[in-house]
């Protein structure tokens, strides 16, 4: 794997942020610590620091997104960057310009940092392989591969509420097969020495050899939730019903939906997370989502500081184009 | 023209022997091996001391991208690559543009090869159904009369089992060879990597082995039912090798090949989304690779094909799931075969049989033997020529190799087709 460390420079510092896989525990901890220091900024009256002043960040989204795109945008704004938002119409690009041409054209506009979401697994790596030196790529979700900033904000949330990963049992519930979030979370939890990572899913939504990622597998929700400290629910997309992966939303909820009743299988102080957007009544009961153990809205607000942290670490370490102050 | 090849080590893929002997060629045929025929005077003598002399290679599946995809290759560029790499006969799958489902396209290919080609023998494989659509049989008899050596639906399997059964019945009645690449399109879906730990980790849409084996099981049943002589191409799974072994033991008229790269690469080689390793069927597991090698060693798999698929650079300069599958394979075909000998999978004549006489016999081609009376399609190979694989040096228009930087031994010095020197280094 020649480009395995594409995202790190010779000194092990961040050049790009493409996948949790390939990173290490000190970097993840540095991200979480840096994010901690930014939370105070986001809470004050003037929410800006000049770390990215004079830089241009392009949000390049080939798939629709509200939450991720807007938190990236806010993060970049609070670091004083100029933002270019591009919602690329996928059908237009597949017919016309190649992804590489899109990249070259944007590079010609002196973009310093690309935030990219694309439906192909590996697209962020592809971008990082082809950008000019000094230009950085942040993965905002590539196909079913990784969504590393989401995983980092989830880790931030867990650390905020639970402190020590080595004492924790974490269960990830739902559509592992299609989830880039789950892959990133699993790598991150393992790098942070989580005591046990479980995945709970029906066979049809579980890719083969998932245990090779370093997780234990449960096909039964009650068994899987037993004694866990953290429950991460994944979104179930409606189109999964069409591909015969599941009979119905109703049956999914019956087997894998998180209800108040089932929540009792976990530790009494377990927290409930969801990367959003959630389907109430499909993977999670409304009362759980709005309940006292839910930290779903905290995740969203932490998302801004975590993305600020990652962007600033890249600037600090990689020496973006232009002034090297 | 009379040719005399002196003192080479003759590789005989039929007798499975190697002997130092002279070869005498008059006009287009070998007229003697060992002692010169009476009154033989050589117009030209080639000193082959220290070299291997063997039949020209026969490639049962190679895409020349002609007609229809000049950005990837054409008959001139690809037959030149073939000839310089020792491949003197090759079969072209019907998925050209237009499809090889009518005599005009067959004639066009023959005409282009005669006009722009580099002396290679080019054998079109006819489409089993019109436009590969899977509904209506193509005019197989007239395609055969025009030179199609077999019939196939390439990578577009027949979705209707009744049509497939009738196509095979019809072919059996006319004693035609059917070539099938077993694919279940639903199980394959939009997959691009072997279903295993690598695809799971990289989040790549996966292709289960059943995408091949479920189709193969059905296809074997239809062979049993129709008696159609059937060649299964590009097998990739250990379980497929098992199924073929059992079907052959029952005496079904079945033959098989696998692509050369499947004996050297696995899904691990995808690394971090390396599109040069994107193939269909996908690179599979280590277990599959070893089973394919066993299949070659015990004769379950009859031949090795290049599965040559040249591409323009842009076809691979995309994120992995959007890149085009296939490897430009002519320039590494013989080198990889010789590596199998170095790795002691089989002896030199045994491996060469998988690249010469075996495919020639399956297809009924006048090729693949180094014997008195046979057509003089012969290559002379320097076994000691060491080279590092560099795609920029490829003769093929397609530079999309999966073997960049590999060390190879052996290089073609001379290629003779029908008694004429088609290439000399």
Residue spans per domain, chain A: 25-146+301-318, 148-299
Per CATH, the number for B2-53+375-396+405-424 is 2.30.40.10
Cβ neighbours of residue A321 closer than 8 Å, sequence gap 6 or more: A110, A112, A134, A135
Q: Show which residues on chain A lie within 8 Å of chain B, measured between beta carbons.
A: 1-4, 6, 21, 98-100, 118, 120-123, 125-126, 142-146, 180, 183, 207-210, 212-213
Q: What is the pLDDT of residues B408-421, one digit of tens each?
A: 999 999 999 999 99
β-strands B254-259, B303-305 pairing: parallel
**B342 CB neighbour count, 10 Å cutoff:** 12
Q: Does pLDDT of A42 surpass 80?
A: no
Q: What is the pLDDT of residue A92?
A: 53
More confident residue, A68 or B308: B308
Helix, strand, coil tally for chain A in percent (to 5): 45, 15, 40
Cβ-contact B114, B145 below 8 angstroms: no
Per CATH, the number for A25-146+301-318 is 3.40.50.1370
Per CATH, the number for B56-363 is 3.20.20.140
Domain with CATH 2.30.40.10 in chain B: 2-53+375-396+405-424
Cβ-contact B341, B294 below 8 angstroms: no
Q: What is the pLDDT of residues B308-364, one digit of tens each?
A: 999 999 999 999 999 999 999 999 999 999 999 999 999 999 999 999 999 999 999
The verdict on whether B242 is a catalytic residue reads: no
Cβ-contact B412, B380 below 8 angstroms: yes
Cα of B227 to nearest chain A Cα, Å:
36
3-state secondary structure B1-38: CEEEEEEEEEEECCCCEEEEEEEEEECCEEEEECCCCC
Q: What is the pLDDT of residues A95-130, one digit of tens each?
A: 567 888 888 888 888 999 999 999 999 999 999 999
Cβ neighbours of residue B329 closer than 8 Å, sequence gap 6 or more: B62, B259, B260, B261, B306, B307, B308, B309, B401
Domain with CATH 3.20.20.140 in chain B: 56-363
Among B200, B204, B205, beta carbon nearest to A210? B200
Structure tokens at A265: 């299988």
Nearest chain B residue to A22 by CA distance is: B272
CATH number 3.40.50.1370 is the correct assignment for the domain at A148-299: yes
Contact B203 A143 (CB under 8 A): yes
Q: Do domains A25-146+301-318 and A148-299 have the same CATH topology?
A: yes
Contact A122 B314 (CB under 8 A): no
Q: What is the pLDDT of residues B117-166, one digit of tens each?
A: 999 999 999 999 999 999 999 999 999 999 999 999 999 999 999 999 99
Interface test with B, best of A183, A205, A207 (most B CBs within 10 A): A207
Q: What is the pLDDT of residue A105?
A: 87
Structure tokens at B345: 């999978």
Average pLDDT value over all residues in chain A: 90
Q: What is the pLDDT of residue B364?
A: 97
């Amino acid at each position: 794997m020649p480009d395995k460390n594409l995202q790190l420079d010779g000194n092990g510092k961040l050049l790009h942020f493409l996948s949790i896989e390939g990173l290490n525990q000190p970097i993840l901890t540095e991200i979480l610590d840096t994010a901690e220091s930014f939370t105070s900024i986001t809470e004050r009256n003037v929410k800006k620091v000049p770390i990215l002043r004079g830089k241009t960040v392009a949000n390049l989204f080939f798939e629709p997104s509200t939450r991720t795109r807007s938190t990236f945008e806010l993060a970049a704004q609070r670091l004083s960057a100029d933002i270019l938002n591009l919602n690329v119409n996928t059908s237009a690009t597949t017919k016309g310009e190649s992804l590489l041409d899109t990249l070259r054209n944007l590079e010609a506009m002196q973009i310093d940092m690309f935030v990219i979401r694309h439906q192909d697994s590996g697209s962020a790596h592809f971008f990082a392989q082809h950008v000019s030196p000094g230009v950085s790529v942040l993965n905002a979700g590539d196909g079913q591969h990784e969504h590393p900033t989401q995983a980092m904000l989830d880790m931030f949330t867990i650390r905020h509420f639970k402190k020590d990963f080595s004492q924790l049992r974490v269960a990830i519930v739902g559509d592992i097969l299609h989830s880039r979030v789950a892959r990133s979370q699993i790598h991150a939890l393992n790098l942070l020495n989580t005591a046990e990572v479980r995945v709970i899913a029906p066979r049809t939504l579980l890719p083969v050899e998932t245990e090779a990622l370093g997780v234990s597998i449960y096909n039964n929700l009650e068994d899987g939730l037993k004694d866990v400290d953290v429950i991460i629910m994944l979104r179930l997309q409606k189109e999964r019903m069409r591909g015969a992966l599941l009979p119905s939303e109703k049956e999914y909820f019956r087997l894998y939906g998180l209800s108040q009743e089932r929540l009792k299988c976990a530790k009494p102080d377990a927290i409930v997370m969801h990367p959003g957007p959630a389907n109430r009544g499909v993977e999670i009961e409304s009362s759980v989502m709005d309940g006292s153990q839910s930290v779903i809205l905290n995740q969203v607000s932490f998302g801004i500081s975590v993305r600020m942290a990652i962007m600033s670490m890249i600037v600090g370490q990689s020496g973006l184009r232009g002034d090297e102050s | 023209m009379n040719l005399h090849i002196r003192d080479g080590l003759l590789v005989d893929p039929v007798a499975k022997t190697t002997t130092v002997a002279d070869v005498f060629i008059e006009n287009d045929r070998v007229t003697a091996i060992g002692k010169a025929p009476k009154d033989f005077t050589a117009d030209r003598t080639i000193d082959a001391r220290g070299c291997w002399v063997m039949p020209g290679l026969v490639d049962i599946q190679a895409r020349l991208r002609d007609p229809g995809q000049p950005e990837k290759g054409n008959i001139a560029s690809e037959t030149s690559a073939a000839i310089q790499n020792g491949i003197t006969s090759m079969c072209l799958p019907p998925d050209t543009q237009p499809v090889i489902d009518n005599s005009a396209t067959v004639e066009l290919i023959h005409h282009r090869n005669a006009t722009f080609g580099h002396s290679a023998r080019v054998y079109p494989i006819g489409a089993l159904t019109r436009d590969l659509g899977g509904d209506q049989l193509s005019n197989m008899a007239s395609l055969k009369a025009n030179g199609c050596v077999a019939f196939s639906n390439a990578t577009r399997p027949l979705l209707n089992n009744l049509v497939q059964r009738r196509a095979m019945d019809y072919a059996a009645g006319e004693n035609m060879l059917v070539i099938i690449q077993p694919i279940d399109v639903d199980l394959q879906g939009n997959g691009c990597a072997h279903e295993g730990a690598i695809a799971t980790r990289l989040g790549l849409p996966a292709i289960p082995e059943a995408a091949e084996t479920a189709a193969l099981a059905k296809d074997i049943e239809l062979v049993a039912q129709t008696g159609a002589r059937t060649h299964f191409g590009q097998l990739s799974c250990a379980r497929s090798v098992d199924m073929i072994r059992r079907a052959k033991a029952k005496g079904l008229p079945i033959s098989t090949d696998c692509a050369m790269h499947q004996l050297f690469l696995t899904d691990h080689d995808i690394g971090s989304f390396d599109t040069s390793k994107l193939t269909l069927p996908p690179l599979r597991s280590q277990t599959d690779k070893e089973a394919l090698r066993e299949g070659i060693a015990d004769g379950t798999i009859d031949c090795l094909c290049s599965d040559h698929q040249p591409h323009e650079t842009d076809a691979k300069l995309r994120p992995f799931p959007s890149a085009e599958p296939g490897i430009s394979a002519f320039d590494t075909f013989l080198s990889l075969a010789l590596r199998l000998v170095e790795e002691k999978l089989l002896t030199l004549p045994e491996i060469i049989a998988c690249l010469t006489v075996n495919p020639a016999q399956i297809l009924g081609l006048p090729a693949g033997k180094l014997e008195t009376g046979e057509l003089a399609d012969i290559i002379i190979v320097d076994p000691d020529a060491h080279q590092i694989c560099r795609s920029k040096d490829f003769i093929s228009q397609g530079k999309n190799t999966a073997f960049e930087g590999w060390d190879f031994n052996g290089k073609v010095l001379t290629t003779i087709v029908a008694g004429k020197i088609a290439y000399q280094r």
